[in-house]
Amino acid sequence: MQNMVYVNPAYAALPTSGEAGLTYRNQWPGIPATFVTYGAALVMPVKMLNGGVGVHFINDMQGSGVIIRTIASLQYGYRISLNAEWSICTGLGASYVLKKFNAAELVFRSDILNDLGYGTGTVTFDNYNRTYADFNAGIIATNNNNLSFGFSASHLTRPHDTFSNQVGSRMPIKYTGFVSGRLDANGVAVEPAVYYSQQQNNNELVWGSQFVIGSTFMAGGFLRQNLRFNPDALIIVAGISWENYNIAYSYDVNLKKMRFLSTKMAAHEVTFLYRFEYKQENIKTGQRHKQSKKVECPAYL
């Protein structure tokens, strides 16, 4: 939710100054086989390109190392000013992906029974590494009233993500869309947002709002569900901003009836963002000076 560089490559054209971000997510920390993700991103505006470029790196470890996916991406965004109020950003992204499958980390029922002295057939899987290229594209529209919406498509070439080369094993295209806004009143800003993603038969809807107090403190909540309105999690968000630094923390409260696992199936996510100072030209004197600009960014932007 806080890492728009990963969701939509058109975001590379939005920031007016450079941004560097770090992300850490720990999914289901209460069970032995956790899912941990690390991410780093850098976005820089490029005036001569009328947009910006971005790079981001992701290391995703699933099941305590059964699957490790490392991604390095390069993005380019182009900004178009339609009129005095509306702008459109389009973007393309290209990624190099390294996927490692470590079957030695898997534990089957037969492994436990054999350790107890019962002779059963052993299930075996081969380890494999796979590298492939991946591409995505997106568009984001924004206006001066802090209203924005966007759409993106990932895995455009449907790469082979597994050991199989069959057509049916190719990765499905993932579609995402969002709408967000910002309303200011008496020193408090309300930032409602809706995010939706669809990949083959799987869909996810996240909606809610966060509140910014005095441009310093942020808190809010979002509900994650599918289109059948079966809630999956309540996402509690809090953050703080000072000078050019922003830190956000979110906690997923599991809402599914999973009995004793319910209290263990949560998630922690921490996002750090730093906005660089930029040089602004003084038209009267022709001199350049550094200036720190506070950018009011709605949710997901």
Give per-residue pLDDT as tens, 161-209: 877 766 667 899 999 999 999 998 888 999 999 999 999 999 999 999 9
Token digits of residue 92:
């393309």
Decide if 213 contacts 191 (C-beta within 8 A).
no
Token digits of residue 138:
């997106």
Token digits of residue 184:
């200011």
Class of domain 4-291: mainly beta
- Its pTM stands at 0.83
Decide if 24 contacts 37 (C-beta within 8 A).
yes
Alpha carbon distance 260, 212 (integer Å): 36
Q: Which residue has the tokens 């054999």?
A: 114
The residues of the chain scoring below 70 in pLDDT are: 1, 109-124, 165-168, 257-264, 278-301
Alpha carbon distance 205, 196 (integer Å): 5
**To the nearest 5 percent, what fractions of the chain are helix, strand and coil?**
10, 55, 35
**Backbone conformation region of residue 227, classed left if phi is above 0, alpha if psi is from -120 to 50, else beta:** alpha
Give the start-to-end residue ranges of the domains of the chain.
4-291
**Backbone conformation region of residue 8, classed left if phi is above 0, alpha if psi is from -120 to 50, else beta:** beta
Structure confidence at residue 55 (pLDDT): 95
Decide if 251 contacts 266 (C-beta within 8 A).
yes
Structure confidence at residue 119 (pLDDT): 63
Alpha carbon distance 167, 120 (integer Å): 34
Token digits of residue 238:
């809090």
Structure confidence at residue 277 (pLDDT): 77
Structure confidence at residue 282 (pLDDT): 43
Contacts of 71 (CB under 8 A, 6+ apart): 56, 57, 58, 59, 60, 95, 96, 97, 98, 134
Structure confidence at residue 101 (pLDDT): 87
Alpha carbon distance 234, 206 (integer Å): 9
Burial class (CB in 10 A: 0-12, 13-18, 19+), 102: middle
Decide if 132 contacts 165 (C-beta within 8 A).
no
User: What is the tens place of the pLDDT at every residue in 112-134?
Assistant: 666 666 666 666 677 888 899 99
